[in-house]
Each structure stands twice: as C-alpha cells, then as structure tokens.
Chains A and B, each alone.
Chain A
C-alpha cells in the first residue's frame, strides 16, 4: 500500500544534541512538507520541497535543516539552535501544485513526538 512512513514515533533529545526525523513516501509524489504541531497553535510549516535537490524555508525554519537527495525521502534535522523543539512533527506529501489536477490534497504521515530531556 502507498503511504508515508515517519520514524521514530517517539524521540528524546538531550540539550545541545542534533536529531534527525525520518520521512519516507512511496506515493511517487514530488512535493513534501514538514509541519510542527504545538497545542493551541495548529500546524506550522517548517520546510517544503517541490522537487529533488531543492527545498524552501517555511514559516518557522530557524533551528531546522532538511535535505532532499531522493524523491522518496525528506529527512528533518532538529539542530541545537532550535531552543524549543518539544513538539509533534508531521510530514506530508502531495502532487506539486500547478500540475493541473483538481482533487488536490496532502497525504500525512503518522508523526513523530520529539521531547527534550
């Protein structure tokens, strides 16, 4: 079955440590997105990529980095520069906008809960 796999489900980070969240999709989608979810704030866009080897900052990119070396994979690194990383992180994919489809929408992964210890 096609879908998005995020791992790990739970992740604990020590102060000053970088951690990487995995996101893999087998939907053949070109576009991928990372969102952060905090209580009472909805979801906010961290980074997005519309094609391999290209990505753009979202609204809250500071303290995060990404790579897009393969179409299927869009890992997110939470660096030590991110001062408040405890949150729920969601990855999503879609056919890129502008390709002439009408039933547009995201497919989401099941998320990673990151906690600073």
Chain B
C-alpha cells in the first residue's frame, strides 16, 4: 500500500523569503503522479503543482517548484518570494498513473503542513 508522509506539521516564513515543504512517500509502483495541493482558510482545495514520475525534469509553476527525487521517494515543494496569500495548509498527494487500466483514481494524501507567511 502506498503512504505519504509530511513530517512538518507547521512552518512559518517571512514575506519575500523562500521556504521548502517536505514530503516522502512509499510505493512499489514505477509510474505515478505526485501533487501538491493548497488549502487556504477558505478550505477550497487548489492544485499547486503536479509531477509525473517518469519525467525527470522537476515541475515548476511560477513561484512554486518541486525537487523530485525518485530513488529517495522524496517530493519537496519550494515556494519562492513568499506572499501573504500563500498562508495555507499544503498537502502532498500520490496517485497511481491514470493511464493504467483499473486505476481507481484514488488520491492518497499526507497529513498536511500548515504554512504561515509573516509580514
């Protein structure tokens, strides 16, 4: 069974600085997706970034980038130039690759990291 672990329950960062959120996972699959979702105080889940395991290049979306280490089963999220609007809970999630038949589409989530951006 797959598991996702986020070992940092809470983090804080000063506005305009850089912060890295950690995520590790365990799986015997060779091809899969990894996601970072953001849940601000409104509790709306928002997709931040997505990584396909067979792609060696780390995904980047504006100020958000990942460090994907497949052998180490590590998937950290780096937020550059942190903004007050980045204050939220961040979830790391795993899913078997959707192109495999029989895949349920189930997302497996970590416990979440609460990030506070301070002015």
Interface residues of A (CB under 8 A from B): 31, 33, 35, 40-45, 48, 50, 56, 58, 88, 90, 92, 94, 96-106, 108, 110-111
A-B contact pairs, 20 of them (CB 8 A): A31-B105, A33-B106, A33-B107, A50-B105, A56-B104, A58-B106, A92-B45, A97-B95, A97-B97, A97-B98, A97-B99, A97-B103, A97-B105, A98-B99, A98-B101, A98-B103, A102-B52, A105-B50, A106-B47, A106-B107
Question: Of A56, A97, A106, A111, which one neighbours B100 at CB under 8 angstroms?
Answer: A97
Q: How many A-B contacts if CB must be within 8 Å? A: 71
Within the assembled complex, what's the spacing in Å between the Cα atoms of A115 and B118?
A: 32
Q: Which residues of B approach A to under 8 Å, CB–CB?
A: 4, 9, 33, 35, 42-47, 50, 52, 91, 95-107, 109-112
The answer to whether residues A42 and B100 also contact, given A105-B50, A108-B44, A108-B45 and a CB cut-off of 8 A, is no
A104 touches B98 (CB 8 A): yes
Would you list the 7 A-B pairs with minimal beta carbon distance, nearest first?
Answer: A97-B98, A42-B109, A108-B45, A97-B103, A97-B105, A104-B98, A43-B109
